[in-house]
Copies of this chain bind each other. A is one copy, B any other.
Amino acid sequence: IDASPPTFPVLSVSLGFALVAFAATVALIPGLAPAFARAGLKGRDLLKPDSTLEIPESIGLISASVYILLLIVFIPFLFADALRPSKIAEEKTPLTEVASRPFPHQQLSAYLSALLSLYTATLLGFLDDVFDIRWRHKLPIPIVASVPMLIVYFADGGITSVVVPTPLRPYLGQIVDLGALYYVYMAMVSTFCTNSINILAGINGLEVSQALIIALSIAANDLLYLPWRFTGAEWSAGMAYGSVALVERHLLSLYFMLPLIGVCAGLLYHNRHPASVFPGDTLCYFTGMAFAVVGILGHFSKTLLLFFIPQAFNFILSAPQLFGLVPCPRHRVPRVDRKTLLLSPSVAQFERPPSTLATLVLRIFAALRLTRLTTHPHTGVIMEATNLTVLNMLLLWTGPIREATLVWACVALQFAGSVVAFTVRYGLAGLVYDGDRR
């Protein structure tokens, strides 16, 4: 327990980098976007009066490039603390103190491996935009992207044990070593973070807004673990309970999240309704991987997943279409009335009557007002269902609204999800976990 007042010089630098990230993204996009369109990376905005107009796509690549470049330039600041002992040594400080603070090479290699995973995700995301990979083929891409981080985690002899929830401790003990299963779990976290954002898409600014709110939520959670002065004792303030390791982990998470907030906000400036650029799959890949990286390296993957409640809900809702139980058209975005510009749910049509299982699922969803069915007037067989996405579901609830209103509804949903997440994490987790956090 350290009694000296804590300072956060590196965090201030990171905050400065976030501002640079925002400014650079806002400034670079208008200049570089036309080159994307010229190279064939462009798409139509289907929900606008003139749906033939094509706007530059895959602009998430600019955000990703600025982000990775800034994270690389950040390295000397991050490890400035580690370089300082040699300076102190010159000023004739006791050598015992210097020797007790080794250069944090392990942190450096973890940080570099995270950058490699972000790079892989960015490159694969951009390849997806260029080559337009089918979604069944791209589902495992985040697993490939997480390989660098997992391999370095392995080479570094990373922890693969987890704390067991109190009700299960009589059977499993306090801590259980998952071994190889832990790597499978980490790869699944990457896959989920990446694809779940990608699936909840289709209206202006939606992907970027999700990423932005999740990043802000993670950053807010990180702030809880810093040794603020709001109670008397320094280190016991916040949720770190005197653990230097916990403070360090959440600082590292902030160093990844602050510039991410910057590049996402910068992209949103140009992608918000009415959009002048599209983010492309690149955005979902690198932001999803950034979330996975901090959750895994920061050892708070369960908390992380709580911030994905709307995405998880959308995934469960979409599952019957994604896995072929219900027909899935190429586009599931809401349809637009070109005169009024009001959106209404798009539908999937059944060429053959649905199976018994599909009928059962759809009837349950319809009873919960998650979809609306059109049935044959005589036989009662399902002929049509609104597509199973959160967007169409919201439109069922609100009636016809404009695109900009729907975006705000989604933002509100994501924000509400984060409120629930914090409540669960700090209100209810005490029921199944004691103070033993790692």
Contact = CB atoms under 8 A, between A and B. Distances in A.
Interface of A: 35-36, 38-41, 65, 69, 72-73, 75-76, 79, 82-83, 86, 103, 105-106, 108-109, 112-113, 115-116, 119-120, 122-123, 126, 130-132, 144, 147-148, 151-152, 154-157
A109 B72 CA distance: 13
A218 B86 CA distance: 36
A410 B155 CA distance: 43
A368 to B, nearest CB: 42
Count of identical protomers in the assembly: 2
Most buried by B among A79, A83, A106: A79
A42 to B, nearest CB: 12
B75 A130 contact: no
Nearest to A119: B119
Contacts of A154: 76
25 contacts: A39-B40, A39-B130, A39-B132, A41-B130, A72-B116, A72-B147, A72-B151, A73-B147, A73-B151, A76-B151, A76-B154, A76-B155, A79-B155, A83-B157, A86-B157, A103-B106, A103-B156, A105-B108, A108-B109, A108-B152, A108-B155, A108-B156, A109-B109, A112-B152, A119-B123
A109 B116 contact: no
A152 B75 contact: yes
Contacts of A119: 116, 119-120, 123
Sort A-B residue pairs by CB-CB distance and give the 8 closest, nearest first: A105-B105, A112-B112, A119-B119, A108-B109, A79-B155, A75-B151, A109-B109, A39-B130
A39 B123 CA distance: 16
Given A73-B151, A76-B154, A126-B126, 13 more contacts: A38-B131, A39-B132, A65-B123, A79-B155, A86-B157, A105-B106, A105-B108, A108-B109, A108-B152, A108-B156, A109-B109, A112-B152, A115-B116
Contacts of A73: 147, 151
A144 to B, nearest CB: 8
A427 B156 CA distance: 43
Contact of A155 (B83, B126, B132): B83
Contact of A122 (B75, B105, B123, B130): B123
Contacts of A40: 39-40
A247 to B, nearest CB: 21
A39 B131 CA distance: 6
A148 B116 CA distance: 11
Contacts of A157: 83, 86
A43 B79 CA distance: 46
Most buried by B among A105, A120, A123, A156: A105
Contacts of A120: 119
Contacts of A106: 103, 105
Nearest to A144: B69
A109 B115 contact: no
Contacts of A76: 151, 154-155
Nearest to A79: B155
A116 B105 contact: no
A126 B125 CA distance: 13
B112 A75 contact: no
Contacts of A155: 75-76, 79, 82-83, 108
